[in-house]
Amino acid sequence: MATHYAQRASAGLIIGEGSTPNPVGQTYPGITAIHTDRHVAGWRRVTDAVRSAGGHMFLQLQHGGRVSHPETTGLTPLAPSAVPLPETIFTPHGHRPAAVPRAMTPDDIRATIADFASAARRAVEAGFEGVEVHSANGMLLHQFLADNTNHRTDGYGGPAERRVRFAAEVTEAVADAIGADRVGVRISPGSTGNGVLEEDTDGLYAALLDRLKGLGLAYLHLVRSAPESGWYRRIRADWPGVLIGNPDLAGLGTETVSLAVRELLAAGADLVALGRPFLANPDLAERLRRGAPLNPVRDRYLMYVGGAVGYNDYPALDVPSDQAEPLSSDSMVALDAGRVA
């Protein structure tokens, strides 16, 4: 992992993979975490390598909520309500039917908020410049936001203003722990990932932004940002700070990725987050700047099964800059590496 991230140190910002703030928050076998001294020591090796290569890193804090299983953690998953995933989940013993989570009590909520704050402090101790609070893709914070996974009747359920409370309180606690300028938040409006469903996406995220925009956060990160969508335009207009856009790429070629980046920047994004292209191209920013070909993703599963193959063995560009084939004149884009995350 230290090698993998150091290879990609030319990114303007590396957002490290989702790491759990406590044992019950673990989603799948073998994922990273940040709740023990050993986790801090392991991540320190990664951040030292990235810093030595001139890079910068935030760590994403992700609690799976109902996206977990006792065979993975030894614990009953926690969630806003006792609503299980609608599909099977991968465990150390293969795919299993989803477990029914336990609805979080007020004590569970307070403890989880404290765990996020503690994880943020550990992340800074491990050498990260900051953290990204994961409130997207059907994970725990998103489960509180979504209508079909939050059936609570207390102060954390019901109207949008109450359903956003948990995500807001987690973010506030993390900001208090390490400083708001070290904290970003990831959201995925309208996403149905992991079986969540929002009935009023516009109203929900308007309420969430009302809670967040006065905190002075480092950034807001929108997953799969479509510049032409109404909710994207409204969030860009309503969010006063740095906005990271993340395109839903139709392909992974140089022209396609460059066009998606240019469209997001033109639509007001301050930074652009790229996932699969960066996994397959350690020098992605330089390739885009030159208009050089991108490595294809050889097998989309290789990068998630452990080991260096399909993870650390993608080649870097070795073509001299004066020999790189330029983009066509109608798609030329001057890319600043500092704007590609």
Q: What is the pLDDT of residue 325?
A: 41
Cβ neighbours around 54 below 10 Å, total: 9
pLDDT > 60? residue 319: no
Q: List the one residue out of 136, 120, 151 whose CA is nearest residue 43.
A: 120
pLDDT > 60? residue 61: yes
User: Beta strand pairing status for 94-96 and 89-91?
Assistant: antiparallel
Print burial letters for 86-106: b (CB count within 10 Å at least 16), e (below 16).
Answer: eeebebeeeeeebbebbebee
Asked whether the beta carbons of 335 and 254 are under 8 A apart, the reply is no
pLDDT > 90? residue 320: no
Asked whether the beta carbons of 168 and 95 are under 8 A apart, the reply is no
pLDDT > 80? residue 322: no
Q: What is the pLDDT of residue 301?
A: 65
Q: How far apart are CA 145 and CA 121, in angstroms?
A: 25
Q: Which two tokens stand for residue 304?
A: 């998630």
Tens digit of each residue's pLDDT (9 = 90 or more) over 279-315: 999 999 999 999 999 999 887 667 777 788 889 999 9
Asked whether the beta carbons of 209 and 236 are under 8 A apart, the reply is no
Q: What is the mean pLDDT of residues 118-140?
A: 98
Q: Which residue has the higher pLDDT, 61 or 311?
A: 61
Asked whether the beta carbons of 221 and 185 are under 8 A apart, the reply is yes
* Alpha helices, DSSP H, located in 132-248: 140-145, 160-163, 165-178, 201-212, 230-238
Tens digit of each residue's pLDDT (9 = 90 or more) over 167-210: 999 999 999 999 999 999 999 999 999 999 999 999 999 999 99
Asked whether the beta carbons of 86 and 74 are under 8 A apart, the reply is no
User: Beta strand pairing status for 14-19 and 89-91?
Assistant: unpaired
Mean pLDDT, the chain, integer: 92
